[in-house]
Amino acid sequence: MELPSHTKEIFERLSRGNFISQNSPVPFEKRLFEICEENSDVLEAYFRPIGFEFDYGPGYFYFSKELQENQIETKLENILHLLDYIEMFLQHDEYFAVGWRGSPIALAEAATDNIVIKERIEKIRGLSGSNLFKKCEDIFKKMEKDGFMALEDEYEKRYVVLTSYAYLVDFFKGVEEVGRNEPA
């Protein structure tokens, strides 16, 4: 089996829990996506024996693996924080989705004008910012760290929502579906 170029970089990125997204503003990451797309069968066969499931969704690739008991709680806690962020972003802009663009400054300005957004931001635990703008900046950086946003324009501090965001949407739809199917 001949491995594609940049297999090492693909593994390093995905094994840290990151996504490879089709709409990344970083050219090298776009190239990694193309390599994954063109070689998905080879990569899947290569990574499986070492304990990594090479998975994909619409416009993104990621690794999944079985979690240990102690990892599940941490993962769920992180998902709940992301849910808080998403609810806040949707309050800010009902069209928040893959491809959406925004900045911490614009969010802070919206929160200044909209008490509901401001209260949602204030209720989010774990933000280290001491003022509204810093808290908004923390939210964008967390979304970037988790692989659902990328800094598109450093000068304007504008971020773009990556195709990996569809993973969260699918996850929450799955949870909602399970909830509907549970007996009352």
What per-residue confidence (pLDDT) applies to 156?
94
At residue 70, the pLDDT reads: 81
| Residue-wise pLDDT tens digits, 103-115 | 999 999 999 999 9
Residue 149's pLDDT band (cuts 50, 70, 90): very high
Q: Which helix (H) or strand (E) holds 54?
A: strand 53-57
Alpha helices (runs of H) in 39-131, residue ranges in sequence order: 40-47, 69-92, 104-113, 115-123
Query: Which residues make Cβ contacts (< 8 Å) with residue 164, sequence separation at least 6?
Result: 19, 21, 57, 59, 60, 62, 147, 148
For residues 36 and 7, is the Cβ–Cβ distance under 8 A? Answer: no
Round to whole Å and give the CA distance between 41 and 153.
34
pLDDT at 30 over 60: yes
29-63 burial string, b = 16+ CB within 10 Å, else e?
Answer: beebbebbeebeeebbebbeeeebebbbbebbbbb
Average pLDDT over residues 151-178: 89
Instruction: Provide the CA 176 distance to its chain's centre, in angstroms.
Output: 19
> What's the pLDDT at 128?
79
Q: What is the pLDDT of residue 58?
A: 93
Instruction: Please give the average per-residue pLDDT across 108-125, as a whole number.
Output: 93
pLDDT of residue 163: 97
CA 27 remoteness from chain centre: 18
Q: Which residues contact 79 (CB under 8 A, 6 or more apart)?
A: 171
Q: Can you give the pLDDT at residue 71?
A: 78
The phi, psi pair for 110, rounded to 5°, reads -65, -40
| Residues above pLDDT 90, as percent of the chain | 72
Residue 182 binned pLDDT confidence (cut-offs 50, 70, 90): low
Residue with the larger pLDDT of the pair 175 and 20: 20
- pLDDT for res 178: 64
Chain segment 61-112, per-residue pLDDT in tens: 999 877 778 877 888 888 888 888 999 999 999 999 999 999 999 999 999 9
Q: How is residue 181 written in tokens?
A: 């199917």
Work out the mean pLDDT of the chain and round it to a whole number.
Answer: 91
